[in-house]
């Protein structure tokens, strides 16, 4: 993609975010941020008439022994903005923050949002951004899913491999997380690109068994499951992980954090992006992308572990799994949202 094409795409994205005259927009970058993205977003914001500045931060001082990995997409909540009070205070005063660092699941992002800033995270390669650019109907489908989540009391997931897990809802589900690839409301976060909807279960109220089958995806491994993994959940916590090599791989990774909160059940939801590719893992270098294809592809069921600060919880663990299941089913109060990988409600169908 040429620099002109990138600038054009980012200008269209910022227009969706209602960036314009009278607004202050910041572009946050760090040691691993793409320089071409930073330049294009600054120019795009200026084209739209906003007052734009870039805040570039050095690596945060961290004790490497505290985490087993710093691979992209494997360490959450600890960023160059961690502990950087002057930077946080500066960003709390903007209307729009373009996050090229990855602040997701960090207390700094929560604080900036509460101050009223719109936050847009952008880290995927240009090809993925272009293919999954927000399309007509995405927002409406996601909001339809959000309305159902907000009134649901119970969520259940199943699959043909033997999954049967029930989440009780209500503690956090009144304000589900809606992702449709742009943000135009004060204090709202989104991730460009992707369309999916999710919430967190009541603390200590998830019970059952998840059986991961070949073709399911584990993030941050950014890899397909090749053999069945049986995950047993009791009162909101993973109690055992059983199976062959894939299970051993997952157990080892979870244990390496030496953090009990890594085993807590976190968000649960489903993908609604028709342009997301289930098999994109086979097409990209792992370190070049986060994996929005796998997280958002149409009809997936995605569950996670670890932090819950996004919805007001207290778990700040950097250990976080996103696991996307292909061909699974998800029910709200007994009504199917996704059935064997097919989206069922008419107002959510693409």
Alpha carbon distances (Å) from 148 to 74, 83, 195, 198, 304: 31, 38, 16, 11, 20
Residue 216 lies in a domain: yes
Domain boundary among 65, 100, 123: 123
Q: What does pTM read for this prediction?
A: 0.94
Query: Is the domain of 118 the same as that of 142?
Result: no
Of 316, 344, 308, 317, which is closest to residue 328 (Cα–Cα)? 344
Query: Is the domain of 185 the same as that of 302?
Result: yes
Query: Is the domain of 342 the same as that of 252?
Result: yes
Query: Is the domain of 234 the same as that of 277?
Result: yes
- The answer to whether 29 and 38 are in contact (CB under 8 A) is yes
Query: Is the domain of 318 the same as that of 206?
Result: yes
Q: Is 171 left (phi over 0), alpha (psi -120 to 50) or beta?
A: alpha
Alpha carbon distances (Å) from 337 to 149, 159, 213, 267, 270: 10, 13, 20, 16, 8
* Separation CA 265–CA 250 (nearest Å): 15
Cis before 211? omega within 30: no
pLDDT by residue, tens only, the chain of 350 residues: 899 999 999 999 999 999 999 999 999 999 999 999 999 999 999 999 999 999 999 987 765 556 777 777 777 888 999 999 999 999 999 999 999 999 999 999 999 999 999 999 999 999 999 999 999 999 999 999 999 999 999 999 999 999 999 999 999 988 899 999 999 999 999 999 999 999 999 999 999 999 999 999 999 999 999 999 999 999 999 999 999 999 999 999 999 999 999 999 999 999 999 999 999 999 888 888 899 999 999 999 999 999 998 898 889 898 999 999 999 999 999 999 999 999 999 999 99
Domain boundary among 96, 123, 150: 123
What angle in degrees, to the nearest 10, is found between the helix axes of 3-16 and 35-47?
60
- Token duo for residue 298: 């149409």
Query: Is the domain of 171 the same as that of 238?
Result: yes
């Amino acid at each position: 993609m040429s620099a002109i094409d990138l600038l054009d795409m980012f200008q269209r994205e910022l227009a969706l975010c209602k960036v314009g005259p009278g607004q202050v927009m910041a572009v946050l970058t760090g040691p691993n941020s793409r320089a071409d993205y930073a330049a294009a977003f600054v120019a795009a914001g200026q084209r739209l008439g906003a007052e734009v500045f870039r805040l570039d931060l050095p690596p945060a001082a961290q004790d490497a022994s505290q985490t087993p990995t710093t691979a992209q997409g494997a360490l959450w909540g600890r960023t160059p903005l961690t502990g950087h009070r002057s930077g946080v205070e500066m960003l709390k005063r903007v209307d729009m923050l373009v996050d090229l660092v990855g602040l997701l699941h960090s207390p700094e992002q929560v604080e900036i949002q509460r101050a009223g800033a719109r936050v847009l995270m952008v880290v995927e390669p240009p090809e993925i951004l272009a293919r999954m650019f927000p399309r007509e109907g995405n927002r409406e489908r996601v909001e339809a899913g959000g309305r159902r989540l907000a009134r649901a009391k119970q969520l259940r997931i199943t699959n043909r491999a033997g999954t049967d897990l029930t989440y009780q809802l209500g503690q956090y589900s009144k304000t589900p997380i809606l992702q449709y690839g742009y943000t135009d409301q004060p204090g709202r976060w989104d991730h460009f690109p992707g369309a999916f909807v999710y919430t967190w279960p009541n603390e200590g109220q998830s019970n059952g068994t998840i059986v991961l089958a070949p073709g399911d995806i584990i993030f941050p491994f950014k890899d397909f499951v090749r053999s069945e993994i049986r995950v047993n959940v009791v009162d909101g916590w993973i109690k055992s992980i059983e199976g062959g090599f894939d299970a051993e791989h997952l157990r080892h990774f979870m244990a390496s954090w030496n953090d009990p909160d890594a085993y807590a059940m976190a968000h649960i939801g489903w993908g609604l992006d028709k342009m997301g590719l289930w098999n994109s893992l086979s097409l990209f270098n792992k370190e070049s992308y986060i994996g929005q294809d796998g997280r958002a592809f149409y009809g997936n069921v995605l569950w996670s572990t670890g932090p819950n600060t996004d919805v007001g919880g207290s778990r700040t663990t950097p250990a976080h799994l996103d696991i996307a299941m292909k061909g699974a089913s998800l029910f709200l109060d007994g009504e199917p949202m996704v059935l064997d990988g097919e989206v069922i409600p008419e107002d959510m169908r693409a």
